[in-house]
Amino acid sequence: MKKILLTAALALYGLNAASQAKIGNNPGTVNSNAVLELESANQGFLQPRVALSSTASPAPLSAHVAGMGVYNTATANDVRPGSYINDGTRWWPVSVPVATASVTAACNGFTGTYYPGTATRSYTVTVTNNTFAAVTVTPVAGDLVLSPASGLSVTGVSGGGSIASGASSVLTYTLGGNLVATGGTVITGTFTKLGLNCSRTVTTEDVPVAILDGPNGTTITFMAHNLGSDYSADPLTPSQAINGSYYKWGASTAVATVDTAPGNIPGWTTTNLPNGSWNSGTEMAPVKTANDPCPPGFRVPTRNELSIFTFGNTNGNTASMIGTENNSATNFSRGMRIHNYGVVKLLLPAAGFRYTATSNGIYGTLSNRGTIGFYWTGTEQSTASYYLRADQVYPQLGGYERSFALSIRCIKQ
Phi, psi of 398 (to 5 degrees): -145, -170
In three-state secondary structure terms, 138 is: coil
Question: Which one is predicted more confidently, 209 or 118?
Answer: 209
pLDDT tens for residues 144-199? 999 998 888 999 999 999 999 889 999 999 998 878 777 889 999 999 998 889 99
Architecture of domain 103-203: Sandwich (2.60)
Strand 152-158, strand 353-357: pairing: unpaired
pLDDT tens for residues 394-409? 678 999 999 999 999 9
Q: Is 8's pLDDT higher than 70?
A: no
Q: Is 272's pLDDT higher than 60?
A: yes
What is the reported pLDDT for 116?
79
pLDDT tens for residues 273-291? 999 999 999 999 999 999 9
What is the reported pLDDT for 195?
86
For the chain, domain boundaries: 46-98, 103-203, 209-412
What whole-number distance in Å separates Cα of residue 241 and Cα of residue 247?
17
Residue-wise burial string across 118-127, b where 16 or more C-beta atoms lie within 10 A, e elsewhere = bbebbbbbeb
Which range among 97-111, 327-341, 353-367, 383-397 shows the weakest confidence by mean pLDDT? 97-111
Alpha-carbon separation of residue 191 from 14, 34, 181, 216 (angstroms)? 63, 51, 21, 53
Q: Is 327's pLDDT higher than 90?
A: yes
What is the reported pLDDT for 311?
56
Assessment of whether the complete model's pTM goes beyond 0.85: no
What whole-number distance in Å separates Cα of residue 247 and Cα of residue 150?
21
pLDDT tens for residues 60-96? 999 999 999 999 999 988 888 999 999 999 999 986 4
